[in-house]
Amino acid sequence: MSMNSANPRLRADVPVVVVVGSGFGGLRVAQRLAKAPVRVAVLDRTNHHLFQPLLYQVATSVLTESDIAFPIRRIFRNQANALVALAEVVAVDRATKTLTFADGTKGPYDWLVLAAGAGSSYFGKDAWKAFAPGMKSLDDATAIRGRILRAFEDAEAETDAQALKAHLTFVVVGGGPTGVELAGAIRELAVEALSRDFRRFDAASTHVILVESADRLLAAMSEQSSSVALDSLRAMGVEVRLNERVTEVFDGGVMLGTERIEADTVVWAAGVAASPLGATLGVPLDRAGRVKVLPDCSVPGSPDVFVIGDMAAQVCARTGQPVPGVAPAAMQMADMVARIIGAESAARTGAKPPRPAFSYFDKGSMATIGRARAVAEVAGLKMRGLLAWLAWLFVHVLLLVGFRNRVFVMLSWGFAYLAFSKGARIITGHTRSRLRAPLGAEMEKLLAQRKLGR
Ligand SMILES: Cc1cc2nc3c(=O)[nH]c(=O)nc-3n(C[C@H](O)[C@H](O)[C@H](O)COP(=O)(O)OP(=O)(O)OC[C@H]3O[C@@H](n4cnc5c(N)ncnc54)[C@H](O)[C@@H]3O)c2cc1C
């Protein structure tokens, strides 16, 4: 993709701000530059802004893909200085101020904001990825949904007790918010929604195991919230294994030290690795591959290049604490960077205003565990149960992009809550045929029951 030739709107004599990634950080910075004397090029390798906090609900059939994704072009439809392009950036050359795209073409920038987020980290064991997918994109969530639903279909067709147990065992690795939410949601899917739809096995016997290497869940929250989450998950029937580490992942299960757990479905919610794009900048990175940015979020030696959100290793100027990889942090960095670019573009010939240092305002954190169960910590206030769950619903609906999405998500939640049902139970892609059990005898039994009017 050549930005010069393909996009006439970028040729005007105003600086071009290229924003790579239209997640929470990229979207925000581009929107905040609407009135600045710059052109904004928003590049993303997907055509949608994704609301990652609700990915687990797509993976567990509560919501559909379009409920949590919004077309980027639609968002910038009315922003005159913005241009959207579907493009994957693979490298940055700061010396020539050029980007390289996945198709080998190149494009220039005047200002650059890298907001390409993060992926899953398997702590150097990348071969595990094939057996334990992470949950970062819509493709990941639909693939996990397919695995979960397929495991139940396989269970329905199974005659061997050992294999049946493996079909109905789900291992979630990582006890952060994503792992906690996913483990609770899988158990809820089995008990509430599926148990009435399968006839040959008891879906309520589904075994969900959540493995966490630390001594408590939700390490970023208080000990009180951790123990509420632990109690709630156990009350729902999830087996929580604390202080235990997955030492091997294979096709069909995991090893926890010397213990072998046979499980058809393993989901990875344990580690985060920043976008590999940061490594092409040639500046120091932290252990998670995040760029060690300066207090103004710029890259050392390049005041015209900023890195924000999950790609940035930033320290709060007020507290000296590392800034967490969460959506509000990405948006707050975006606000600051947009202000800097706006102010410096406006004062192109005059003296540049001094740059601020990034300060993170922690708005609190929350995690939902299941129907009317959640924990939330907002402004020093700790909530649990129904109140926390309602706060969680409210905040997530509020943050969703697009009126349609808000309405559809609320309707889907209402339906799931009232009808104990999950509507989006779709398996896409190739479905293996695993019908091993003889169906004939059972069909005859069913027909006989019907004749008898039972
Ligand atoms: C499952 C899950 C649940 C979460 N739950 C919460 C939560 O409850 N609360 C919370 O605050 N945070 C949550 N987070 C974290 C939050 O989503 C991130 O902190 C936030 O999305 C970071 O914003 P970002 O702009 O840095 O990156 P992202 O929002 O990840 O956006 C990155 C964008 O860059 C694009 N991109 C990537 N590479 C390239 C490339 N090479 N070229 C072009 N485009 C590229 C991607 O397609 C994507 O659109 C969750 C994350 C996950 C994965």
- pLDDT by residue (tens digit) across 35-70? 999 999 999 999 999 999 999 999 999 899 989 999
What's the sign of the alpha-carbon dihedral 169, 131, 146, 417? positive
Contact (Cβ atoms closer than 8 angstroms) between residue 19 and residue 113: yes
Please classify residue 90 by burial: count the beta carbons closer than 10 Å to its beta carbon, then call 0-12 exposed, 13-18 middle and 19+ buried: middle
**According to the model, what pLDDT value does residue 444 have?**
67
Three-class DSSP labels, 13-42? CCCEEEEECCCHHHHHHHHHCCCCCCEEEE
**According to the model, what pLDDT value does residue 5 have?**
40
Say how far apart CA 19 and CA 111 lie, in whole Å. Answer: 8
> Looking at 8-12, 200-204, 417-421, which range is the least confident one?
8-12
Find, among 202, 229, 207, the residue nearest to 383 by Cα. Answer: 229
Residue 150 one-letter amino acid: R
Residue 125 one-letter amino acid: K
Say how far apart CA 454 and CA 450 lie, in whole Å. Answer: 6
Structure pTM? Answer: 0.90
Domains, the chain, in order of start with CATH, read 3-45+87-117+275-346 (3.50.50.60), 126-270+371-419 (3.50.50.100)
Q: Of ligand 1's atoms, which has the minimum distance to the CA of residue 25?
A: 25
Say how far apart CA 265 and CA 223 lie, in whole Å. Answer: 29
- pLDDT by residue (tens digit) across 352-389? 889 999 999 998 999 999 888 899 998 888 999 999 99
Phi/psi at 70 (5° precision): -135, 130
Ligand 1 centroid from CA 40, angstroms: 20
**According to the model, what pLDDT value does residue 176 have?**
96
pLDDT higher at 9 or 296: 296
Ligand 1 centroid from CA 367, angstroms: 17
Phi/psi at 114 (5° precision): -95, 120
Q: What percent of the chain has pLDDT over 70?
A: 91
Say how far apart CA 69 and CA 366 lie, in whole Å. Answer: 21
Contact (Cβ atoms closer than 8 angstroms) between residue 48 and residue 71: yes
**According to the model, what pLDDT value does residue 303 have?**
97
Find, among 373, 25, 421, the residue nearest to 197 by Cα. Answer: 421
**According to the model, what pLDDT value does residue 416 have?**
76
Q: CA neighbours within 13 Å on the CB side: how many for 299?
A: 26
Report the pLDDT averaged over residues 289-310: 98
| Ligand 1 site-directed mutation target among 24, 84, 221, 291, most atoms within 8 Å of CB | 24
- pLDDT by residue (tens digit) across 227-258? 999 999 999 999 999 999 999 999 999 999 99
- pLDDT by residue (tens digit) across 193-213? 888 888 888 888 999 999 999
pLDDT at 150 over 70: yes
Q: How many CB atoms lie within 10 A of CB 185?
A: 25
Q: CA neighbours within 13 Å on the CB side: how many for 210?
A: 33
C-alpha separations of 414 from 125, 310, 383, 389, 417 in Å: 40, 32, 22, 13, 5
pLDDT higher at 44 or 400: 44
Question: For this structure, is 181 an active site residue?
Answer: yes
Beta bridge partners of 307: 114
Q: What percent of the chain has pLDDT over 90?
A: 72
What torsion, rounded to 10 degrees, do the Cα atoms 226, 227, 229, 235 define?
A: 160
**According to the model, what pLDDT value does residue 380 have?**
82
**According to the model, what pLDDT value does residue 11 have?**
47
Beta carbons within 8 Å of 40's beta carbon, 6+ residues apart? 16, 17, 19, 30, 33, 79, 81, 82, 83
Q: How many CB atoms lie within 10 A of CB 240?
A: 22
pLDDT at 433 over 80: no
Say how far apart CA 84 and CA 108 lie, in whole Å. Answer: 15
pLDDT at 435 over 70: no
Report the pLDDT averaged over residues 416-426: 72
- Options 156, 158, 181, 192, the catalytic residue: 181
Structural Rg of the chain based on CA atoms: 24
Residue list, ligand 1 pocket, CB within 6 Å: 20-26, 43-46, 50, 52-53, 55, 88-89, 115-117, 135-136, 177-178, 275, 277, 309-311, 325-328, 330
Report the pLDDT averaged over residues 69-95: 96
**According to the model, what pLDDT value does residue 6 have?**
43
Strand residues in 22-164 grouped as ranges (E): 39-44, 48-50, 69-71, 82-86, 89-93, 98-101, 106-108, 111-114, 118-121
**According to the model, what pLDDT value does residue 414 have?**
79
Treating both helix axes as pointing N-terminal to C-terminal, what angle do 24-32 and 327-346 enclose, rounded to 10 degrees?
Answer: 30
pLDDT at 430 over 70: no
Ligand 1 centroid from CA 115, angstroms: 9
Q: pLDDT band at residue 4, thresholds of 50, 70 and 90? A: very low
| Ligand 1 site-directed mutation target among 52, 140, 336, 365, most atoms within 8 Å of CB | 52
- Per the prediction, the chain carries an average pLDDT of 90
